[in-house]
Amino acid sequence: MRRPYQTTRPTPGACVRRGAVATGWQDGVVSPATPPAPDVRGWVDALTGPGRADRLTHLEVLPPRAPAYAAWPAWMPTELRLAWAEAGVDRPWRHQAEAAEHAHAGRHVVLATGTASGKSLAYQLPALTATLAGRGPRGERGAATLYVAPTKALAQDQLAALQGLGLDVRATTHDGDSSHEQRDWARDHGEYLLTNPDMLHRSMLPGHERWRRFFGAVHYVVVDECHHYRGVFGAHVAHVLRRLRRVCALHGADPTFVLASATVADPADLGARLTGHEVVAVTEDGSPRGQVSLALWEPPFTGQLGEQGAPVRRSAISEVADLLTDLVVEGARTLAFVRSRRGVETVALAAAAQLAEVAPELAARVAPYRGGYLPEERRALEQRLRSGELQGLAATNALELGIDVSGLDAVLLAGFPGTRAALWQQVGRAGRGGRDALGVLVARDDPLDTYLVTHPEALLGQPVEASVFDPANRHVLAPQLCAAAEEHPLGVEDFALFGAGAREAADALAEAGVLRRRGARWFWTDRRRASDLVDIRSTGGAPVQLVEADTGRVVGTVDAGRAHATAHAGAVYVHFGETWLVRSLDLEQHVAMLDRTDVDYATTARDVTDIRIVTEHRHALRGRCRLSYGDVEVSHQVVSFLKRRVPSGEVVAEEPLDLPPRSLSTSAVWWTVPAAVLEESGLAGTDLPGAAHAAEHASIGLLPLFATCDRWDIGGVSTALHPDTGRLTVFVYDGHPGGAGFAERGFDVAGDWLHATREAIAGCKCQGGCPSCIQSPKCGNQNNPLDKPGAVALLDALLGVG
Ligand SMILES: [Zn+2]
Ligand SMILES: [Zn+2]
């Protein structure tokens, strides 16, 4: 029988370069089609041509860095050394050798260095050494490696890279697409298994008895791109890795963890929170880098008016399409990152159309790079970009991990990608092999992006944030304990592993009859599989399916938490440019029925939100103002929807809805200002609800800069007088049951966060408020009332300024 995915030496010409790319470019390895030396200054001049100079708000030039090498470790087998030499790697960079040495010595280690710094070599070196050295006399599996990536695509890329080394190592991916035959082979013979947290959670850990020989052989666990684990997902992954430790221990293994991360602040802490182990950090990057120029770019106002008569800026997507066109004309190989799939299409089409006018021969050299491509199709596109046949590519941020290209000159970002780590990761796609590179961050019309491009120090002078997540969230801890109990009954000795609150949570689960306690053991006795009861990528329950009423075809899905607002009867749903009208919503069945109908309006829901303080856990006084963090109960009721004309946004009708309230127990950060302070600040006679509401919106917009969340992960409530505090109060809460750690992070960094909020509002060039400062696209009150000067005065009073 042919073993699926057994690595064999590649046919001449195939894969060899891919191996080289994945293990990092070294000196002397030159792409076959080396483009001319980059002229970054010239490109910037071209972009800031007539009428556009003032859109460039800042240009930061980071100096080049020389490579730092180390010797190969003495414990490495010759076989491996030869494989890397063939791939163009003659010796490792210092950080690679250092991380490999820690791992080889059995110390858990996190390697946090830049894009293209060859992190895979750092874990492959000890892992492959252990595999080759651990084999039995007849080639039986000795030491196995379990590689965990956040996405299936990345695991597949890693497999291809590993195969490109041409070693005789039994490597395979294990994901939703794996055949039975492949799984059996992996269990019995697999030496290097590449998977994702979802498969661990749903399949491998619950079925660990069948995998016992594999788990018993695991010598290394590699957690790649670990800065991606944040929020509720991050908390789940932290517990999945603890369950993995426990299962390995059950079958006699005690693996060493090797984590790879983008450059983040305090990677050792991130590693420790993810694995529960003490972790050594290697952060000094020894790979060479050319000069990197980062341009910050603010699109102009369009002259048109949006909601409440506010001025609106040109979209980042239109702006990126123009910049892509110009860079392609300049001969720069450019990758544009865009948030949505539709945006990707728009950018590629618009750039091709513009090129057809100015340089027709270039029009066919721009392409979109979407999700849903087969690996071969992706490889073909990457190859065309690498060879220079393609000059411009537009891709979604989501594909960032899957893209394997080198020799790029420039990267365009349509909007801040959410974290500074992701920004540098994406910009780092350009300039591989020590060549100079250009990155351009184009602001979207929102408070965070606008703040960043007008306050470069917030992007450049700061250590890159670590991911925020909270493994103690009881909504995560409880189902994870159940899954662990199903894998093997919980004992008191397990509670230290699962962290503070685990014992209490297990007792509560026993009291509720979910777990059964006998003596000092907690059992899962339900017939259902515990791991099926929780989706580690969301906490909102099953998504609502959008179904075409006449045919039963599923058109799309929406999160259960947003169904009231977006899939109520009468809602307009837009899918790939087509409009659909929701006929009915059945929340019990998680189904909404739709009809394909052309309408010339869009709908937005209006809601009423109430918030009740359950417990204040922490507080800090700022003068007479008070800042708090604690548990809250948020109740949310969608009461009506508005029909708005497209594209003007003008409201043409409002229709009532009869939907039940939804409640959410979560954590929040809130601040209160007493009446006397309002009086002294001259705010007493002003539009207090408008000032508080505007400050709330802007603070939600800015929190992602400090808490690695998305503005859609958090919500807010503001009021001139809250019954629980008796004062003007502004709340910002976690949108996930039990909280995801974002609100607490807001409390911890409140001074910086609220100061940035104040600056974002005061610094915006609009008059009375716009989407770049105080307007919010998710406001349930149609951005009314909002008071821009009032918000600045209120924040000044809170911060004790002026
Ligand atoms: Zn504004
Ligand atoms: Zn609002």
**26: Cβ contacts below 8 Å, ≥ 6 apart:** 88, 89, 90, 91, 93
Measure 701 CA to ligand 2 centroid, in angstroms. 12
Number of the ligand closest to the Cα of 767 = 1
Q: Give CA–CA dist 688/694, Å, rounded.
A: 10
Measure 313 CA to ligand 1 centroid, in angstroms. 10
Measure 448 CA to ligand 1 centroid, in angstroms. 12
Measure 511 CA to ligand 1 centroid, in angstroms. 52
- Overall residue count recorded for the chain in this entry: 802
Measure 774 CA to ligand 2 centroid, in angstroms. 9
Q: What pTM was computed for the model? A: 0.82
DSSP 178-245: --HHHHHHHHHH-SEEEE-HHHIIIIITTTTTTTHHHHHHEEEEEETTGGG--HHHHHHHHHHHHHHH
H or E, element range at 270: helix 267-275
Supply the pLDDT for residue 432: 66
DSSP 611-645: EEEEEEEEEEEETTEEEEEEEEEEEEEEEEEEEEE
Supply the pLDDT for residue 22: 32
Measure 758 CA to ligand 2 centroid, in angstroms. 17
Number of the ligand closest to the Cα of 791 = 1
H or E, element range at 384: helix 375-387
Measure 278 CA to ligand 1 centroid, in angstroms. 46
Measure 562 CA to ligand 1 centroid, in angstroms. 27
Q: Give CA–CA dist 583/568, Å, rounded.
A: 8
Measure 692 CA to ligand 1 centroid, in angstroms. 16
Measure 714 CA to ligand 1 centroid, in angstroms. 21
Contact status, residue 72 vs residue 92, Cβ threshold 8 Å: yes
Residue 565: CB atoms within 10 A of its CB come to 21
Q: How many CA atoms lie within 13 A of 492 on its CB side?
A: 3
Measure 570 CA to ligand 2 centroid, in angstroms. 22
Measure 786 CA to ligand 2 centroid, in angstroms. 8
Interval 660-687: pLDDT, tens: 998 999 999 999 999 999 999 888 878 9
Q: What's the Cα-to-Cα distance from 454 to each of 59, 327, 762, rounded to whole Å?
A: 11, 23, 12
Measure 310 CA to ligand 1 centroid, in angstroms. 8
- Consecutive 10-residue averages of pLDDT for the chain (802 residues): 32 28 35 66 93 94 94 96 94 98 98 90 97 92 95 86 93 90 93 96 96 97 92 92 98 98 89 96 94 96 84 92 96 92 88 94 90 71 84 81 74 92 87 86 95 92 74 86 97 92 93 93 91 74 82 82 87 80 89 91 88 96 95 94 78 90 93 94 88 97 87 89 96 89 92 96 94 89 92 94 60
Measure 707 CA to ligand 1 centroid, in angstroms. 23
Measure 720 CA to ligand 2 centroid, in angstroms. 14
Measure 683 CA to ligand 1 centroid, in angstroms. 21
Measure 47 CA to ligand 1 centroid, in angstroms. 25
Measure 764 CA to ligand 2 centroid, in angstroms. 18
Number of the ligand closest to the Cα of 783 = 2
Number of the ligand closest to the Cα of 451 = 1
Measure 304 CA to ligand 1 centroid, in angstroms. 14
Number of the ligand closest to the Cα of 781 = 2
Measure 784 CA to ligand 1 centroid, in angstroms. 15
Measure 606 CA to ligand 2 centroid, in angstroms. 10
Measure 21 CA to ligand 2 centroid, in angstroms. 47
Number of the ligand closest to the Cα of 445 = 1
Measure 765 CA to ligand 1 centroid, in angstroms. 6
Measure 319 CA to ligand 2 centroid, in angstroms. 28
Number of the ligand closest to the Cα of 779 = 2
Measure 691 CA to ligand 1 centroid, in angstroms. 14
3-state class of 433 per DSSP?
Answer: helix
Number of the ligand closest to the Cα of 692 = 2
**376: Cβ contacts below 8 Å, ≥ 6 apart:** none
Measure 389 CA to ligand 2 centroid, in angstroms. 48
| 180, amino acid identity | H
Task: Classify burial at 776, counting beta carbons within 10 Å of its beta carbon; exposed 0-12, middle 13-18, buried 19 or more.
Answer: buried
Measure 710 CA to ligand 2 centroid, in angstroms. 17
Supply the pLDDT for residue 188: 92
Task: Classify burial at 254, counting beta carbons within 10 Å of its beta carbon; exposed 0-12, middle 13-18, buried 19 or more.
Answer: exposed
Return the residue matching tokens 């874990």.
123
**358: Cβ contacts below 8 Å, ≥ 6 apart:** 325, 329
Number of the ligand closest to the Cα of 310 = 1
Number of the ligand closest to the Cα of 306 = 1
The separation between the first and the last C-alpha atoms of the chain, rounded to the nearest angstrom, is 79
Measure 693 CA to ligand 2 centroid, in angstroms. 6
Measure 690 CA to ligand 2 centroid, in angstroms. 9
Query: In sequence order, what E strands does 387-458 have?
Result: 392-396, 410-414, 437-442
**411: Cβ contacts below 8 Å, ≥ 6 apart:** 334, 335, 336, 337, 426, 427, 429, 430, 437, 438, 439, 440
Number of the ligand closest to the Cα of 301 = 1
Measure 565 CA to ligand 1 centroid, in angstroms. 26
Number of the ligand closest to the Cα of 765 = 1
788-799 helix and 688-702 helix, angle to the nearest 10 degrees: 70
Number of the ligand closest to the Cα of 784 = 2
Token readout for 323 is 């910049």
Supply the pLDDT for residue 429: 86
Q: What DSSP character marks residue 315?
A: P
Measure 688 CA to ligand 1 centroid, in angstroms. 19
